[in-house]
Structure 1
Amino acid sequence: MLLALPLLLALSNALRAYGVGEQCGSNPTLDPRPHSVSISEFGAVGDGKTLNTIAFQNAIFYLKSFADKGGAQLYVPPGKWLTGSFNLTSHLTLFLEKGAVIIGSQDPSHWEVIEPLPSYGRGLEVPGGRYQSLINGYKLHDVVITGNNGTIDGMGMVWWEWYSSHSLNHSRPHLVELVASDYVVVSNLTFLNAPLYSIHPVYCSNVHIQNVSISTPPESPHTIGIVPDSSDNVCIEDCILALGFDAITLKSGWDEYGIAYGRPTENVHIRRVHLQASSGSAIAFGSDMSGGISNVLVEHVHLFNSNSGIGFRTTEGRGGYMKEIVLSDIQMENIHTAIAVTGHCGSHPDDKFDPNALPILDQITLKDVTGKNITIAGNFAGIEKSPFTNICLSNITFSINPVSPLITWECSNVYGFSESVFPEPCSELGNPTNSSSSSCYYLQSISGKTAEL
């Protein structure tokens, strides 16, 4: 289903995110790129049938020569522009006009097979390599992917079928993947039918994702919208996402590979987003979090029609940590499990993982949360050898689905503090001897101010 998204900020000129270090602070609109060409000038045909991979590659190769002259813009006019995967360059704006649709080829030979990410050690779904994403960047600086509500359609149906039938030779591709890049903006676009992830910044710094609409059908297997992965200084705001699995997931590597790579996801600000996750979590942390996840602020969000609202996932052997995370001003409706926290989720990439690498989940605050038509308020299943600690719940009210189970909270191997929570949480989260409100005050927001209850 295509979700309509009002244009909150029309960008006819390129935006470059040199204020993103403040996460969701104000971003200056800089001068437009001094050079601009249309993809049509390189022989591309927007009929939805002609393969335009070479045209995109040639256009970007040409624009690379303007990197030291203020950068350049590649303009995609209205039309249906079929292509295989292609790479961006630094100081580039890719601009999709209204009515412009970049369509991913369904022929796997048009998608290059590349090495797995070092923090994962293998493909996510199939050992070995992975298909390169539709739009890629590697070690880039100052990259903008934007438009006048143009569309990037991954045509993922065939990929979903191959995944479900166990016919994949390599792991599925994403729509947009930026690797080891900084000062990245993705804005004012619609993303449809990603084979796997829609937007995947990995090993990146200073990323601003604003005013995008992302959707895949409810039955699309394990599709995820936005995945900040071993990245820092990330802002996600004013977006509407409806995905088959998770809407937004924070990650940082898989078992011994993520531990060895050692790059956390940190300093992330998510606000004013509307999220739906058919079979997963609207906002998820993990389960691949071996490099660590910390200093995350999620606020003013609407979660709806989802299997779970907020999810934390990890398992023994994963290592890493999830800590110093604040979620506030959350509205939920029609959610099966409002808060799902588990230490028993996810597989291992191989048999080389250390079973004694125990993940840490600590200093998590959820406050000012309301939910309508909730089946299970919370399910906390920690790890016996490494219990989840300092879970703080404040000012939370759920109206339970009248046909829900009698048990509205389930807890094991978790300790925390709660106040003004309805229905009343399990004793592990409500007993002052287990924790106290002081454990909540330690959390720091993105701006460095104490996130008090």
Structure 2
Amino acid sequence: MKNILASIVVTIITLSIVIDNAQGKRVLQSFEAFEYTAITCRSHSASITEFGGVGDGKTLNTKAFQSAVDHLSQYASDGGAQLFVPAGKWLTGSFNLTSHFTLFLHKDAILLAAQDINEYPILKALPSYGRGRDAAGGRFASLLFGTNLSDVVITGNNGTIDGQGSFWWQKFHGGKLKYTRPYLIELMFSDTIQISNLTLLDSPSWNIHPVYSSNIIVKGVTIIAPVKSPNTDGINPDSCTNTRIEDCYIISGDDCIAVKSGWDEYGIAFGMPTKHLLIRRLTCISPYSAAIALGSEMSGGIEDVRAEEITAYQTESGVRIKTAVGRGAFVKNIYVRGMSLHTMKWVFWMTGNYKAHADSHYDPHALPEITGINYRDIVAENVSMAGRLEGISGDPFTGICISNATISMAAKHKKAIWMCSDVEGVTSGVDPKPCDLLDGQQSEKKKKTDGGCDFPTDVLDIDNVELKSCSYQMN
């Protein structure tokens, strides 16, 4: 049975005993044995209560969490360690993770993000951005943060991380922030990461942000925020290689998944693309943004993105490409198949006129290359406009392919069903008929096959990673 566990299973034992905690107080401790799947299992275990943690929703636990992580880091070379967060409401500010480490949240555990800016250290701006995204200064550290780490697992049997974001949204709307809002989870310059089987609520800004990292699995995560909350992107792989995102459900105030790689001259100079990205079985609701966005910060480049089995409801667009003069770099070799879209403003949206810039020093000669964009096997209903594809004058988007797409227009759809400028491509089996700029001729080789747009048949390394059956039980 262990080999077929698809989710965390709580098992067998619950023990309650009285112990002395780190402050010398006698507390009732509940220990549970459980099984879960992870990239790596651990040899050592502890509970946050052993370090003075109190799950009453009022006691601040930042020091307890950091003490626990620091203590467990000693086992990094001895099979690693896992920190168990029992049922309760655990108020905490930002704390740093460590290598060869698992953070596990019980199904009734809630990490509550402290609503005190002093609980979030100030970090420098990311080098590929040159400034904060909310303000010119740096940024607040994320709730769960780590840099230069290896082998990190953040998981649970659907435990919750509640960002209590309204505190930050009000400050953002009021123009009262000197630094960029914290994210819920950010790992930098790290390798071998798993984030799974969690519910993330009301993030101050982005929810999950792996950046300058590789070999990442995000699986079985539910992300929820009000659809009008500012910049609450779901999952943002940023200058990352070998990433697998699957079986996620996202309701947000911004893009459900946003693929990024740095901003204007800073991203160009840093030169670290996002590549070899898999997205599958995504369900998205985002009335003002995209199910999947590529950019607009893409100045390190984006290539080899493979998305399939995408479902979106009441979402502004399916897959959106956002770029501008000054971004430079490329978005190329993008493959999407199997989208089911319900009540959309646009099915296809590309723009080369996304003018938000880091500063005024961007290079007006740094033109992005957008090419090799493939969409196939799409059904959409209640759509206002089928496609809005706007390249850059003198720098057209090329190699666009759309095949086997059936789009049912809304009763009050836009008069112009397609809008195209400065784009080149081919289509087959698309209804309603696309614009003339997408009426190029397919190659003879393509005509002899199914006539559909490309989707790779090779297997990426990250797709060969299998999760192991792990367990936790207190000694």
Question: Does the TM-score normalized on the shorter chain lie above 0.5?
Answer: yes
Q: Which moved more, 1:159-168 or 1:143-152?
A: 159-168
- Cα 1:433/1:47, change in 2 over 3 Å: closer
| Matched residue, 1:103 | 112
State the alpha-carbon separation in 2 of the partners of residues 137 and 409 from structure 1: 45
2:294 and 2:321 in contact (8 A); partners too: yes
Matched to 2:104, the amino acid is F
CA RMSD of the aligned region, Å? 1.9
Matched to 1:414, the amino acid is V
| Matched residue, 2:459 | 447
Matched to 1:229, the amino acid is D
| Matched residue, 1:388 | 397
Secondary structure of 1:62's aligned partner: helix
Query: In the TM superposition, what is the alpha-carbon distance from 1:431 to its structure 2 partner?
Result: 3.6
State the alpha-carbon separation in 1 of the partners of residues 404 and 321 from structure 2: 20
- Residue 134 of structure 2 is aligned to residue 125 of structure 1: yes
**TM alignment of 1:112-151, pairs within 5 A:** 112-151=121-160
Structure 1 residue aligned with 2:251, among 227, 242, 248?
242
- Residue 375 of structure 2 is aligned to residue 363 of structure 1: no
1:127-178 CA-to-partner distances (Å, cap 9, x unmatched) read 1210000001101100000001100011100111111111111111100001
| Matched residue, 1:199 | 208
| Matched residue, 1:220 | 229
1:206-245 CA-to-partner distances (Å, cap 9, x unmatched) read 0000001001101101210000000010000011011111
**TM alignment of 1:261-410, pairs within 5 A:** 261-410=270-419
Query: In the TM superposition, what is the alpha-carbon distance from 1:442 to its structure 2 partner?
Result: 6.9
| Matched residue, 1:22 | none
State the alpha-carbon separation in 2 of the partners of residues 435 and 363 from structure 1: 18
Secondary structure of 1:225's aligned partner: coil
- Residue 193 of structure 2 is aligned to residue 188 of structure 1: no
Secondary structure of 1:212's aligned partner: strand
1:359-416 CA-to-partner distances (Å, cap 9, x unmatched) read 0110000000000111111100100121000100000000000111121110000000
| Matched residue, 2:8 | 10
Query: In the TM superposition, what is the alpha-carbon distance from 1:434 to its structure 2 partner?
Result: 12
- Cα 1:218/1:364, change in 2 over 3 Å: same
| Matched residue, 1:229 | 238
Query: In the TM superposition, what is the alpha-carbon distance from 1:430 to its structure 2 partner?
Result: 1.8
2:218 and 2:246 in contact (8 A); partners too: yes
Matched to 2:432, the amino acid is P
1:48 and 1:80 in contact (8 A); partners too: yes
- Cα 1:440/1:433, change in 2 over 3 Å: closer
Question: Structure 2, unaligned stretches of length 5 or more?
Answer: 10-33, 461-475
Query: In the TM superposition, what is the alpha-carbon distance from 1:356 to its structure 2 partner?
Result: 0.5
Larger Rg: 2
State the alpha-carbon separation in 2 of the partners of residues 435 and 337 from structure 1: 31
- Residue 100 of structure 2 is aligned to residue 91 of structure 1: yes
State the alpha-carbon separation in 2 of the partners of residues 222 and 175 from structure 1: 13
1:295 and 1:446 in contact (8 A); partners too: no
Question: Structure 1, unaligned stretches of length 5 or more?
Answer: 1-6, 18-29, 449-453
State the alpha-carbon separation in 1 of the partners of residues 242 and 385 from structure 2: 33
Q: TM-score, normalised by structure 2?
A: 0.87
Matched to 2:459, the amino acid is S
The percent identity for this pair of structures is 45
Count of residue pairs the alignment pairs up: 429
Query: In the TM superposition, what is the alpha-carbon distance from 1:440 to its structure 2 partner?
Result: 7.9
Matched to 2:260, the amino acid is K
1:14 and 1:144 in contact (8 A); partners too: no
- Cα 1:433/1:76, change in 2 over 3 Å: closer
Query: In the TM superposition, what is the alpha-carbon distance from 1:332 to its structure 2 partner?
Result: 0.3
Matched to 1:51, the amino acid is L
Q: TM-score, normalised by structure 1?
A: 0.92
1:2-39 CA-to-partner distances (Å, cap 9, x unmatched) read xxxxx95226446443xxxxxxxxxxxx5x31111110
